[in-house]
Amino acid sequence: MATAEPSSQPSESTLGLSLKKSLAASTGAMITSLFVTPLDVAKVRLQSQSNPKQHRPSPSPTLSIACRRSCGNATRNMMSSRPHTLCVACVRSLSMQCSIPSASRRHLHGTTDALRYVFRTEGLRGLFAGLPPTLMLAIPSTVLYYTSYDHLVHEGARLFPELAPLMPLLAGSSARIVAATVVSPLELVRTRMQNGVEKNMVSILRKAVQDNGVRSLTRGLQATLARDVPFSAIYWTCYEQLKARLMERPEFDQRPVHQAFCAGAAAGMLAATVTTPFDVVKTLQQVDVSMQLSTSQVLRRLVATQGVAALMTGLTPRIAKIVPSCAIMISTYEVGKMYLGVA
């Protein structure tokens, strides 16, 4: 009996520490998601415009069954000569009550224009489109990501002290691969909801499986990993270095929250800028279900058809989203660990 108790205590302590870290990460994920979702919506809308197929207006758009049912009775007498054209005008005048293809949207010019347009045409619900899957994605993803990073970076440095300087890079990359793969289906749902294509999570998942099979649920995963793995490697390497430098400065001494906030913001800005081209590809692959091109093929086609600048589409809202989200997330996580007594 005396030998059983010591062996059970470490497991309970480890479990308690993991739960406390998970709680701190969950709190940070919720706060960050509420803050950055409108900026994410703007980014997705801007990046989805890079798809050439979405800019080819149809001279006579075919109306859906729902559109004919909604407008047919009210405008039957008005539509005898040019039913399709008049119905589209009718739908627009009725605040987009019918389903009009995304190709008919006005071209957006920048983050502010995108936010203003979405709010004017769709209201607050449009600005926070995709928030449910964002929360469903952010909480488990962030918990898995941050707790895995903490464990890997400390255990790796302990087991392989000669590799300690590389541990933030290796641990961040490994943790991101696991987290991104697990939540890939929810990432697909969130992107399609934020693009305004569909509004229901279940219907998006069902339609994706029916049209393109189960593998479609991981659509964009290659581009997501191409974006997120180097992002994590750059972010954590820069974050740990910047945090160590800030600890040496007297104005940041004994202020770990300020250290985390500033280091997280700076590291996030650099990582976001470098990985934006892969974010553009990921968005295009998830918005256009018919796209069968690989990540490298999409990159080459974008450069060939729209120039190198197309690779940085959505950089402003991406930075506007990532810089505060990185700062808020890491500082909230550190505050949570301090409050809960976790080293």
pLDDT tens digits, one per residue of 182-213: 888 877 777 777 776 666 778 887 887 887 77
Q: Which of 174, 163, 311 is nearest to 236 (CA)?
A: 174
Residue 78: pLDDT band (50, 70, 90) is very low
Q: Start-end ranges of CATH 1.50.40.10 in the chain?
A: 13-57+129-339
Q: Say yes or no to pLDDT of 52 above 80.
A: no
Residue 100: pLDDT band (50, 70, 90) is very low
Looking at per-residue pLDDT, the higher value among 297 and 8 belongs to 297
CB 289 within 8 A of CB 212: yes
Residue 266: pLDDT band (50, 70, 90) is very high
What is this structure's pTM? 0.67
pLDDT tens-place string over residues 83-95: 444 343 343 333 3
Look at residue 55 in the predicted model and tell me its pLDDT. 45
CB 308 within 8 A of CB 274: no
Neighbour-count burial for 315-329, b at 16+ CB within 10 Å, e otherwise: bbbbbbbbbbbbbbb
State the sign of the Cα–Cα–Cα–Cα dihedral 151, 157, 160, 163: positive
* Paired tokens of 134: 């964002």
* Paired tokens of 107: 């071209």
Q: Which of 247, 279, 273, 275 is nearest to 260 (CA)?
A: 247
CATH number assigned to the domain covering 13-57+129-339: 1.50.40.10
Span 165-180, mean pLDDT?
93
